[in-house]
């Protein structure tokens, strides 16, 4: 499978991982609604605040709540499919994602995005200032994403017969 096909496979797997993360957060919201929006602190989802910041940088002075919600979904799905595409490129380079690799991939994105990037963007307090329950919930969401990317990539590769070809080439 060439680079373009693996890129597309990764993009689709990123969408599946993003959907898995969304389902995870819906489950968390049912069990503990307070955890669903506190990964960066505040009263609306962190991803909506990321979208608000982007819209303000683009010149929208005061984006409406609806615009922030739509923008949050664009950011969420764009970020998730972007990282899935990177996993697809990794697969094209001969380093397919494994089950454990999916967990590490998700954990790495949690550390990069939630612990470092949101803090550096001024959208979250320092990670030390949050209770462990917030970190655990957010890590769980990213683990769901990583495993979702892996499972989708495996299923799609199996459906196209690519797993057998990769094993024979190795």
Q: What is the pLDDT of residues 64-78, one digit of tens each?
A: 999 999 999 999 999
According to the model, what pLDDT value does residue 40 have? 47
Q: What is the DSSP string of 49-91?
A: HHHHHHHHHTT-SS--HHHHHHHHHHHHHHHHHHHHHHHHHHH
Q: Does the structure show a pLDDT above 90 at 1?
A: no
pLDDT at residue 52 in the model:
93
Nearest of 84, 76, 74 to residue 152 by alpha carbon: 84
The answer, yes or no, to whether residue 42 has pLDDT greater than 90, is: no
Report the predicted TM-score, pTM, of the whole model to 2 decimal places: 0.87
Q: On the CB side of 164, how many CA atoms lie within 13 Å of its CA? A: 4
What the block records as the tokens of 92 is 């094209």
% of the chain at pLDDT higher than 90: 67
Q: Domain limits of the chain?
A: 3-42+77-121+131-169
pLDDT of 162 over the 80 cut: no
Residue 108 has pLDDT above 90, yes or no: yes
What tokens appear for 73 in the block? 């979904």
Rounded Cα–Cα distance for residues 121 and 10 (Å) = 27
């Amino acid at each position: 499978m060439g680079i373009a096909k693996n890129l597309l496979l990764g993009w689709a797997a990123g969408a599946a991982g993003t959907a898995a993360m969304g389902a995870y957060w819906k489950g968390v919201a049912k069990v503990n609604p307070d955890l669903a929006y506190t990964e960066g602190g505040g009263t609306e989802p962190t991803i909506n605040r990321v979208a608000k910041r982007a819209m303000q940088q683009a010149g929208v002075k005061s984006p409406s709540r609806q615009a922030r919600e739509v923008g949050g979904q664009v950011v969420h799905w764009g970020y998730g499919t972007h990282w899935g595409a990177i996993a697809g490129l990794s697969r094209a380079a001969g380093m397919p994602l494994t089950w454990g690799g999916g967990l590490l991939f998700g954990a790495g994105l949690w550390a990069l995005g939630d612990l470092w990037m949101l803090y550096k963007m001024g959208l979250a307090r320092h990670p030390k200032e949050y209770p462990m329950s917030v970190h655990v919930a957010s890590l769980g969401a990213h683990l769901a994403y990583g495993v979702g990317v892996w499972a989708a990539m495996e299923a799609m590769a199996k459906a196209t017969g690519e797993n057998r070809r990769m094993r024979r080439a190795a």
